[in-house]
Amino acid sequence: MKAIRQKDQQWIVEEFIPRLLTSPLLRMASIVSNDLFNRMEIENMLQRSGGLGNIVIRDFNNTDEALKWLRMPFEKEVPNVAGGAS
């Protein structure tokens, strides 16, 4: 992904993240973008929204690693606002 349009960033912060926080989601995998500005924008959106609460987010370099982590039995982890590279 490249840069995220300002209008889309606003929607994510105001609409998507609040809905995500009220969902039953416990963890989320993110495939890290190669674009530095995209990664910075995502981190900024998470900070502006106050983070993801108790949802554990982890960054991955590929889909296979992400799916393997998501399929593992859930164990309570300390949430990481910007994700933790794995």
In the block, residue with structure tokens 């859930």: 74
Identify the pLDDT of residue 29.
94
74 falls in which pLDDT band (50, 70, 90)? confident
pLDDT digits (tens, 9 = 90+) for 15-71: 999 999 999 999 999 998 888 888 889 889 989 998 888 899 899 999 999 999 999
Q: Does residue 83 register a pLDDT over 60?
A: no
Taking the whole predicted model, whether its pTM rises above 0.75 is answered as no
DSSP state string for the chain: --PPPHHHHHHIIIIIHHHHHTSS--EEEEEPPS-HHHHHHHHHHHHHHT--TT-EEEEESSHHHHHHHHHSPP------TT-EE-
What phi and psi, each to the nearest 5 degrees, are found at residue 2?
Answer: -100, -155
Identify the pLDDT of residue 51.
87
